Chain A
Amino acid sequence: GENVEQHPSTLSVQEGDSAVIKCTYSDSASNYFPWYKQELGKGPQLIIDIRSNVGEKKDQRIAVTLNKTAKHFSLHITETQPEDSAVYFCAATSRGSTLTFGKGTMLLVSP
């Protein structure tokens, strides 16, 4: 089955800095890579996703890049704000298989 590794496990940045979270996956058949944000006491919420037919996707301050050859993908958050503080999960799947999550990255943005 799919195995997703995520790092770092914790990340502290100053407000306005950029944050990068990286993930690797094992199953070359995976073709869908979402990122979820989980705030304390809440369920995860999708913030951005990318499919294997593109290498990069951007949505305002958030971007995701995908390298299928190396089997890794990354989340980039620019101009971080305190409300970006949360746990972020990467995940990978392909049609017919289940979504496998990484262990999460706790992002802390200090004012």
Chain B
Amino acid sequence: GAGVSQSPRYKVAKRGQDVALRCDPISGHVSLFWYQQALGQGPEFLTYFQNEAQLDKSGLPSDRFFAERPEGSVSTLKIQRTQQEDSAVYLCASSSTTANTGELFFGEGSRLTVL
């Protein structure tokens, strides 16, 4: 596709449920990032992949959060035993460069609401 595609766009989960969010980056982009954006805040870094390698997961808030990119293309962010504080928009971004100083192309995000 022409841009970064994320699904689902909206997800409502009951507290304690597991959720999986998918990101389809721009074809050929080696770098993939996940960000969490709370209401009225800037995006906050969660994790970074270069191809299939997860090079930085320092932003994942707890061990309930897990991300993978097994074939170096599509990525999935999984949140286990969701809590209300997990409610946010989860943004995926891809980049054609391996440096952190290049343009990020963001998807429209997956809005997660935990009841």
| A-to-B contact residues, CB < 8 Å | 4, 6, 31-32, 34, 36, 41-46, 49, 51, 89, 91, 93-104
Contact = CB atoms under 8 A, between A and B. Distances in A.
A44 B106 contact: yes
B10 to A, nearest CB: 11
Interface string B1-44: 00010000000000000000000000000000100000011111
Interface of B: 4, 33, 40-45, 48, 56, 58-59, 91, 93, 99-101, 103-104, 106-109
A99 B104 contact: yes
Which of A32, A43, A89, A99 has most B Cβ within 10 Å?
Answer: A43
B108 A41 contact: yes
**Secondary structure at chain B's binding surface: helix, strand, loop or mixed?**
loop
B64 to A, nearest CB: 21
Contacts of A34: 103-104
A96 B93 contact: no
A111 B101 CA distance: 36
A97 B41 CA distance: 20
5 contacts: A34-B103, A43-B4, A46-B104, A89-B43, A104-B41
